[in-house]
Structure 1
Amino acid sequence: MRQTANRLKPFFENINFEREDNTMMVNFGPQHPSAHGQMRLMLELKGEEVVKATPGIGYLHRGMEKMGENMIYNEFLPTTDRMDYIASTSNNYGFALAVEKLLGIEAPRRAEIIRTMLLELNRIMSHLFWLATHALDVGAMSVFLYAFREREYAMDLIEDYCGARLTHSAVRIGGVPLDLPDTWCEDLERFITNFEKEIDRYEGLLTENRIWRMRLENVGVIDEKLAKSWGCTGIVLRAAGVKWDLRKEMPYGLYPELDFNVPIASTGDAYGRYKCYIQEMRETAKILRQLIPMYKGSESSLMAHAPEYISAPKEQIMTQNYSLMQHFVLVTQGMRPPKGEIYVATESPKGELGYMIVSDGTPYAYKMKLRAPSFWHTGVLEEMLPGHQLADVVTIIGNLNIVFGEIDR
Structure 2
Amino acid sequence: MELAQPLIEQPFYKRLQLGDWAYAVLVLAAAAYSWSLYNHYMDGYEQAILAGSAIGLVALGWFWKSWRWFFPLAGAVALLGINAYHGELARGQTAFWLKYALSSQSAIMWMCTLFFLATGVYWAGLIARSGLLTRMGSGLTWAAAVMGAAGLFVRWYESYLIGADIGHVPVSNLYEVFVLFTLITALMYLYYEAKFAVRQAGAFVLLVISAAVGFILWYSFDRQAHEIQPLIPALQSWWMKIHVPANFIGYGAFAMSAMLGVAELLVIKGKLKDRLPAADVLDEMMYKAIAVGFLFFTIATILGAMWAADAWGGYWSWDPKETWALIVWLNYAAWLHIRLVKGWRGEPLAWWAVIGLLVTTFAFLGVNMFLTGLHSYGGL
Q: Looking at CA atoms only, which structure, 1 or 2, has the larger radius of gyration? A: 1
More strand by share: 1
For normalisation by structure 1, the TM-score amounts to 0.32
User: Which one scores higher on RCO, CA 8 angstroms, separation ≥ 6?
Assistant: 1
More helix by share: 2
